[in-house]
């Protein structure tokens, strides 16, 4: 009996290949580099997860659904580890994808505000929660458009898969995970301050930029820098985890400074 | 002989090429001006320099060719204008690079510095705008910066020229350093593979290979055009890129950018020191007030009113004083020496080279322009004009323009030619077309604006208000019509940096005004004189009269203007300012009434754009489209001015 995780690794690899428009069975087997190649593939065929036709491998519907769930879990996990914990996302996420069930994955997705892509920039498949755009109190991030004027916050992530040029432009201006930005005004166009520069944005660009709610505060006499943020726990120091464990009390004490 | 000798000597002397490079609005041109001793327009705005300029000069006993470049964010470029700056760096191979580092935007600047360091060229960093950073409660440790970057870092304040001497001193002592990022093995393999396929003789191979791997949209075009790489090589390179991207789990650009940002963050954290209490920033409040519609519109109207008052009460008085004290005595002297006849007409007649040429330029136009330019340049140095684009964005969006194209339009109020050239930064063709049309159509450039105010000021504020209301309506409806006519396209993104509001330095404003006036005289004076001669010939041969009779149904019937306005329209084709002088003269002779004056200004503003603007349009759109556009503009100018005439007659 082949372990379920091994099959899942195959499905994951195949999904990645599909994203690159590759479907050669040999590429799949050589990429996995495993001794039990043929038997795993055989079992997957028996379980009706994939079909092979002239060395071309394709998902069946059940296989695709399964792979989709795995990829979703993996990439959301990367997002979580990268944004919230600031850690090495690759190693953790690989274990993660085999453990979690889909409810847990959905709650992570809601918590992170339905991110569209992983830290590598690959798309995260949509779950049911994304389609109905569930917003609950637990959602820890919000799009830039929901910030109030004079508020400051830390950028969580920027969505922008397949919008390479926009993403690069945003990156040029140093709007990226971890930087503090301040909303200067919202009308007639959004103007934010980021790293010393005033930047005007369209609403549709701004709605792709997500900020941490926990860090949001009104402009106080304190400068919004990394050093002078006693009232805002940077996500890198497991602030997110602590809040999850002790509820929102610890965070609220610090955040409502303004 | 001397020239030959000189050129021979120049050939023997090795010329050091120096490039001034930096973020947009980081003070490159200011540094360039100090180094070369020349003057180019400096403004607290982006897109001030749009084409690079070169000057030969001597620094520290070396012959140098200094190049001023348009702003650049990094070598991975997004737009055509940035691509041209990069092309300068890659193909012209400057021997020394001066990087203007805007210390208020240290992280953005460091991001560009990585690219310049990677080129391995001698680099020197001018750490600019330090005074402003200090005012914001931020201190930069330039010694630490030097330690991390390993290239000379000179603290400068470009506004008053501080640190320029140190910059010159250090310039020839700087050496190139080896600076490379190591990426993941897959990416490194990809880079090596691409480098192998590049011709051996080109420089900066690693950088170019990285750009190719990052799918830069302009780099392959550059390789084909400049290095003449064959199509098969390009295809091989493309397969390399594809293979590497497939083999790499994730997005290569993201990984490279993350690596770079980490480096930037590490340095910035060490170098930047912030004080705990944030100083109250008046500039921010002013900027916000200018951009919010509720306060911004009153501020805009107030500024326009101040301009109006200044031009009417100062410039017009100055002009009439100069007319009395300078021109009247001169014409009296000429009259007493030369009896009325051909030569008298040639010199000081209606179309004399002295009266319509020199006096028109010096005595009528120059005083008005100098007063207006002082105000305009002050606004420019404050940084007000780019902030206008936020205020007016909603309005222009209704016209079918995305936020991105508002900037060129707003810049059109300064110089229409420059503004037309800045439309390069727009990605959508449709938007470019609309923007170029609207710039050429009813937007008055700074000189035209000053003269319009001066003309209308003689008729009262109401005339001024009506004219500008009509012009804005014309502009908006032109935009709406174009918006309906042209095929829809996806809108470009609007991500626009805004310059900070700064206190203008009076000296800088005056110097800029001085140079703008000198340039005006250099460019326009010959045109004024030639135009006067041409008019004189037309008049004497009777052609002028014939054309007046021919055009009389349009001019007198439709537009309701006196036939003398034909002169103004002809002069308009040469230079708009020359026409304004003639209209002022007509007003002085009581030949234009209130309604006629409004119609005359409206039509001269909308009528044929100036020659330089047409050339710029041809450059951006091609000759054929430019001709069509010019015809459309002129036709609609006549149509609208006629409608205005009849409407005004009906109402008043």
Region B47-70: mean pLDDT is 85
Half-sphere exposure of B348 (CA within 13 A, CB side): 16
Please name the residue ranges forming H helices in B88-218: 106-118, 130-135, 142-149, 164-171, 185-197, 205-213
Q: Residue B162 pairs with which residues in a beta bridge?
A: B157
> Is residue A4 pLDDT above 90, yes or no?
no
Percentage of residues in chain A having pLDDT higher than 90: 1
Is the separation of the CB atoms in B424 and B64 below 8 Å? no
Tell if the CB–CB gap between B276 and A222 is shorter than 8 Å. Answer: yes
Q: How confident is the model at residue B302 (pLDDT cuts 50, 70, 90)?
A: very high
pLDDT for the residue numbered B301 = 92
Dihedral angle computed from the Cα positions of residues B381, B385, B387 and B392, in that order, rounded to the nearest 10 degrees:
170
Alpha-carbon distance A122 to nearest alpha carbon in chain B (angstroms): 6
pLDDT for the residue numbered A135 = 59
> Is residue A249 pLDDT above 70, yes or no?
no
- Nearest Cβ partner of A120 from B108, B254, B498? B254
Cα–Cα dist B556/B543, whole Å: 18
Helix (H) and strand (E) counts in chain B: 32, 9
Tell if the CB–CB gap between B104 and A197 is shorter than 8 Å. Answer: yes
- What are the structure tokens assigned to B623, written together? 């000759």
Cα–Cα dist B144/B132, whole Å: 20
Region B119-143: mean pLDDT is 87
**In chain B, what's the furthest Cα-to-Cα distance?**
92
Cα–Cα dist B597/B587, whole Å: 8
Residue of A175, B470, B624, B192 lying closest to A183 (CA atoms):
A175
Q: Could you say which residues from 101 to 120 on chain A have a Cβ atom under 8 Å away from some Cβ of chain B?
A: 118-120
Give the residue, A22 or B433, on which the prediction is more confident: B433
Burial B166-184 (b: 16+ CB within 10 A, else e): ebeebbbebeeeebeeebe
Alpha-carbon distance B496 to nearest alpha carbon in chain A (angstroms): 5
DSSP for A146-203 reads GSPTTEEEEEEEE--TT-HHHHHHHHHTT--TT-EEEEEE-SSSEEEEETTEEEEE-H
Residue A175's CB is within 10 A of a number of other CB atoms, namely 24
Q: Cα separations (Å) of A62 from A11, A15, A49, A58, B550? A: 11, 13, 6, 11, 83
B389 touches chain A (CB under 8 A): yes
Q: Cα separations (Å) of B606 from B185, B369, B437, B586? A: 61, 19, 11, 20
Q: Cα separations (Å) of B138 from A68, B18, B271, B287, B502? A: 48, 31, 10, 20, 17
Cα–Cα dist B419/B439, whole Å: 7
pLDDT, one tens digit per residue, over A59-69 is: 888 888 888 88
B277 touches chain A (CB under 8 A): yes
Most confidently modeled of B267-276, B509-518, B563-572?
B509-518
The CATH label, of 3.40.50.300, 3.30.390.50, 2.60.40.420, 1.10.3720.10, for the domain at B2-171 is 3.40.50.300
Mutation target for B interface from A83, A223, A230, A257: give the one with most B CBs within 10 A: A223
Most confidently modeled of A160-164, B250-254, B347-351, B468-472?
B468-472
Is the separation of the CB atoms in B587 and B449 below 8 Å? no
Q: Which helix (H) or strand (E) holds A205?
A: helix A203-206
Tell if the CB–CB gap between A195 and B292 is shorter than 8 Å. Answer: no
Question: Exposure of B91 by Cβ count < 10 A (0-12 exposed, 13-18 middle, 19+ buried)?
Answer: middle
Cα–Cα dist B213/B242, whole Å: 9
Sorted by sequence, the CB contacts under 8 Å of residue B567 that are 6+ apart come out as: B351, B535, B544, B582
| Phi, psi for residue B68 in degrees, rounded to 5 | -100, 135
B74 touches chain A (CB under 8 A): yes
Residue of B124, B117, B120, B101 lying closest to B170 (CA atoms):
B124
Tell if the CB–CB gap between A171 and B257 is shorter than 8 Å. Answer: yes
Residue B467's CB is within 10 A of a number of other CB atoms, namely 24
Contacts of A184 in chain B (CB under 8 A): 284, 287-288
pLDDT, one tens digit per residue, over A92-146 is: 666 677 766 777 777 778 777 788 888 777 888 887 777 776 655 456 788 888 8
Tell if the CB–CB gap between B277 and A184 is shorter than 8 Å. Answer: no
Q: How far is CA B326 from the centre of its chain?
A: 35
> For chain B, what is the mean pLDDT?
85
When mean pLDDT is compared across A1-15, A188-202, B522-536, B595-609, the lowest value belongs to: A1-15
Q: Domain-by-domain residue ranges, chain B?
A: 2-171, 185-247, 293-488+505-651
B86 touches chain A (CB under 8 A): no
B106 touches chain A (CB under 8 A): yes
pLDDT for the residue numbered A88 = 56
Decide the pairing of beta strands B138-140 and A50-53: unpaired
Contacts of A202 in chain B (CB under 8 A): 402-403, 493-495
Decide the pairing of beta strands A209-212 and A197-201: unpaired
Mutation target for B interface from A189, A199, A201: give the one with most B CBs within 10 A: A189
pLDDT, one tens digit per residue, over A133-161 is: 665 545 678 888 888 888 888 888 887 66
Sorted by sequence, the CB contacts under 8 Å of residue B421 that are 6+ apart come out as: B50, B51, B616, B619, B620
pLDDT for the residue numbered A49 = 83
Alpha-carbon distance B283 to nearest alpha carbon in chain A (angstroms): 12
Look at the alpha carbons of A227, A232, A234, A239 in this order and tell me if their dihedral is positive or negative: positive
Is B495 strand, coil or helix?
strand
- Look-up: residue for tokens 């090429």? B17
- Nearest Cβ partner of A174 from B107, B272, B393? B107
Contacts of A169 in chain B (CB under 8 A): 78, 493, 495
Q: Cα separations (Å) of B13 from B35, B62, B96, B602? A: 19, 9, 17, 56
- Nearest Cβ partner of A201 from B253, B292, B495? B495
Q: Residue A157 pairs with which residues in a beta bridge?
A: A210
pLDDT, one tens digit per residue, over B193-244 is: 888 888 877 888 888 888 888 888 788 888 888 877 788 888 888 888 888 8
Q: How confident is the model at residue B99 (pLDDT cuts 50, 70, 90)?
A: very high
Q: Cα separations (Å) of B83 from B86, B176, B423, B525? A: 5, 24, 14, 36
> Is residue A221 pLDDT above 50, yes or no?
no
pLDDT, one tens digit per residue, over B432-448 is: 888 899 898 888 888 88
pLDDT for the residue numbered A239 = 41
Is B435 strand, coil or helix?
helix
Cα–Cα dist B584/B578, whole Å: 10
Half-sphere exposure of A162 (CA within 13 A, CB side): 4
- What are the structure tokens assigned to B529, written together? 């004189």
Q: Please, what is the end-to-end C-alpha distance for chain B in angstroms?
A: 71
A174 touches chain B (CB under 8 A): yes
Tell if the CB–CB gap between A198 and B74 is shorter than 8 Å. Answer: no
Region B248-268: mean pLDDT is 82
For chain B, what is the radius of gyration of the CA atoms?
28
| Phi, psi for residue A190 in degrees, rounded to 5 | -75, 130
Tell if the CB–CB gap between A223 and B254 is shorter than 8 Å. Answer: no
Cα–Cα dist B433/B496, whole Å: 20
Residue of B577, B573, B569 lying closest to B611 (CA atoms):
B573
pLDDT for the residue numbered A2 = 55
Cα–Cα dist A167/B495, whole Å: 11
Tell if the CB–CB gap between A201 and B494 is shorter than 8 Å. Answer: yes
Tell if the CB–CB gap between B494 and A189 is shorter than 8 Å. Answer: yes
- Look-up: residue for tokens 């006549």? B638
Cα angle: B264, vertex B270, B276; to 5 degrees:
115
Region B26-54: mean pLDDT is 84
> Is residue B46 pLDDT above 50, yes or no?
yes
- Look-up: residue for tokens 């890129």? B241
Burial B121-136 (b: 16+ CB within 10 A, else e): bbbbbbbbbbebbeeb
pLDDT for the residue numbered A250 = 37
A164 touches chain B (CB under 8 A): yes
Give the residue, A142 or B302, on which the prediction is more confident: B302
- Nearest Cβ partner of B111 from A165, A172, A199? A172
- What are the structure tokens assigned to B113, written together? 């510095």
Beta strands in chain A (DSSP E): 50-53, 56-59, 141-143, 151-158, 180-185, 190-194, 197-201, 209-212, 217-218
Q: Which helix (H) or strand (E) holds B64?
A: strand B62-68
Tell if the CB–CB gap between A166 and B250 is shorter than 8 Å. Answer: no
- Nearest Cβ partner of B403 from A121, A172, A189? A189
pLDDT, one tens digit per residue, over B327-352 is: 888 888 888 888 888 888 888 888 88
Tell if the CB–CB gap between B493 and A164 is shorter than 8 Å. Answer: no
Is the separation of the CB atoms in B187 and B252 below 8 Å? yes
> Is residue B514 pLDDT above 90, yes or no?
yes
Cα–Cα dist B339/B355, whole Å: 16
Region B285-307: mean pLDDT is 90
Tell if the CB–CB gap between A187 and B403 is shorter than 8 Å. Answer: no
Q: How far is CA B602 from the centre of its chain?
A: 24
């Amino acid at each position: 009996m082949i372990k379920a995780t091994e099959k899942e690794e195959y499905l994951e690899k195949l999904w990645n290949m599909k994203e690159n428009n590759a479907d050669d069975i040999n590429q799949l087997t050589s990429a996995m580099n495993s001794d039990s190649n043929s038997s795993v593939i055989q079992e997957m065929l028996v379980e009706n997860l994939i079909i092979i036709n002239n060395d071309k491998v394709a998902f069946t519907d059940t296989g695709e659904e399964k792979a989709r769930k795995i990829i979703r879990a993996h990439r959301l996990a990367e997002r979580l580890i990268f944004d919230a914990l600031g850690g090495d996302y690759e190693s953790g996420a690989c274990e993660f994808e085999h453990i979690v069930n889909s409810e847990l994955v959905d709650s992570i997705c809601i918590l992170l505000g339905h991110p569209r892509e992983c830290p590598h920039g690959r798309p995260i498949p949509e779950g049911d929660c994304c389609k109905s755009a569930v917003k609950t109190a637990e959602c820890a991030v919000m799009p830039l458009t929901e910030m109030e004027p004079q508020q400051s916050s830390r950028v969580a992530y920027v969505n922008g898969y397949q919008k390479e040029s926009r993403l690069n432009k945003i990156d040029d201006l140093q709007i990226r995970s971890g930087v503090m930005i301040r909303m200067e005004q919202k009308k007639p166009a959004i103007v934010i301050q980021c790293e010393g520069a005033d930047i005007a944005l369209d609403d549709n660009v701004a709605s792709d930029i997500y900020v941490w709610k926990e860090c949001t505060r009104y402009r106080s006499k304190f400068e919004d820098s990394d050093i002078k943020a006693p009232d805002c726990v940077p996500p890198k120091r497991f602030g997110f985890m602590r809040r999850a464990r002790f509820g929102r009390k610890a965070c609220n004490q610090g955040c409502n400074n303004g | 002989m001397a020239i030959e000798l000189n050129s021979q000597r120049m050939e023997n002397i090795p010329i050091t090429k120096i490039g001034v490079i930096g973020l947009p609005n980081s003070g490159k041109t200011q540094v360039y001006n100090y180094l070369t001793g020349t003057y180019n327009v400096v403004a607290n705005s982006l897109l001030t320099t749009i084409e690079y300029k070169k000057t030969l000069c001597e620094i520290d006993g070396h012959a140098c060719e200094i190049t001023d470049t348009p702003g650049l964010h990094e070598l991975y470029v997004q737009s055509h204008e940035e691509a041209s700056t990069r092309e300068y760096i890659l193909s012209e191979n400057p021997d020394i690079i001066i990087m203007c580092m805007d210390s208020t935007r240290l992280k953005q600047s460091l991001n560009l510095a990585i690219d310049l360091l990677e080129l391995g060229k001698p680099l020197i960093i001018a750490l600019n705008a330090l005074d402003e950073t200090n005012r914001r409660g931020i201190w930069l440790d330039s010694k630490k910066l030097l330690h991390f970057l390993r290239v000379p870092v000179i603290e400068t304040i470009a506004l008053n020229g501080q640190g320029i001497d140190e910059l010159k001193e250090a310039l020839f002592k700087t050496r190139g350093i080896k600076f490379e990022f190591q990426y993941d093995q897959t990416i490194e393999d990809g880079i090596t593979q691409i480098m192998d396929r590049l011709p051996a003789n080109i420089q900066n191979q690693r950088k170019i290979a990285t750009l190719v791997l990052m799918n830069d949209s302009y780099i392959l075009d550059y390789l084909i055009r400049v290095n003449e790489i064959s199509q098969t090589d390009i295809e091989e390179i493309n397969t390399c890129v594809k293979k590497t991207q497939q083999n790499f789990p994730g997005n290569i650009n993201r990984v490279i950018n993350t690596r770079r940002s980490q480096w930037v963050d590490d340095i910035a954290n060490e170098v930047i020191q912030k004080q705990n209490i944030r100083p109250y920033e008046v500039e921010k409040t002013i900027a916000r007030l200018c951009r919010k519609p509720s306060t911004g519109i009153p501020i805009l109207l107030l500024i326009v009113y101040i301009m109006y008052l200044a031009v009417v009460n100062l410039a017009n008085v100055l002009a009439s004083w100069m007319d009395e004290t300078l021109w009247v005595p001169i014409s009296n002297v000429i009259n007493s020496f030369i009896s009325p006849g051909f030569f008298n007409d040639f010199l000081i007649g209606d179309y004399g080279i002295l009266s319509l040429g020199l006096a028109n330029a010096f005595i009528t136009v120059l005083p008005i322009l100098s007063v207006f330019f002082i105000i305009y340049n002050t606004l420019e140095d404050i940084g007000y004009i780019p902030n206008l684009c936020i205020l007016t964005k909603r309005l222009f969006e209704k016209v079918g323009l995305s936020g991105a194209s508002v900037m060129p339009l707003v810049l059109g109020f300064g110089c229409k030619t420059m503004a037309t050239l800045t439309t390069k930064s727009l990605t959508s063709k449709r938007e470019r077309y609309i923007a170029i049309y609207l710039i050429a159509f009813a937007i008055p450039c700074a000189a035209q604006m000053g003269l319009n105010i001066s003309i209308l000021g003689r008729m009262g504020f109401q005339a001024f208000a009506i004219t500008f209301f009509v012009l804005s309506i014309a502009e908006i409806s032109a935009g709406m019509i174009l918006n309906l006519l042209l095929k829809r396209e996806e809108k470009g993104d609007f991500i626009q940096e805004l310059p900070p509001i700064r206190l203008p330095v009076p000296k800088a404003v005056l110097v800029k005004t001085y140079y703008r006036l000198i340039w005006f005289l250099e460019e326009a004076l010959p045109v004024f004189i030639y135009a006067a001669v041409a008019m004189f010939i037309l008049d004497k041969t009777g052609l002028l009269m014939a054309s007046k009779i021919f055009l009389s149904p349009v001019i007198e019937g439709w537009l309701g203007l006196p036939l003398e306005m034909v002169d103004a329209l002809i002069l308009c084709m040469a230079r708009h300012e020359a026409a304004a002088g003639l209209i002022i003269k007509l007003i002085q002779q009581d030949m234009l009434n209130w309604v006629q004056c409004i119609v005359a200004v409206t039509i001269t503003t909308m009528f044929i754009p100036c020659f330089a603007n047409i050339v710029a349009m041809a450059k951006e759109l091609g000759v054929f489209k430019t001709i069509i556009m010019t015809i459309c503009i002129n036709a609609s100018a006549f149509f609208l001015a006629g409608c205005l005439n009849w409407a005004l007659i009906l109402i008043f």
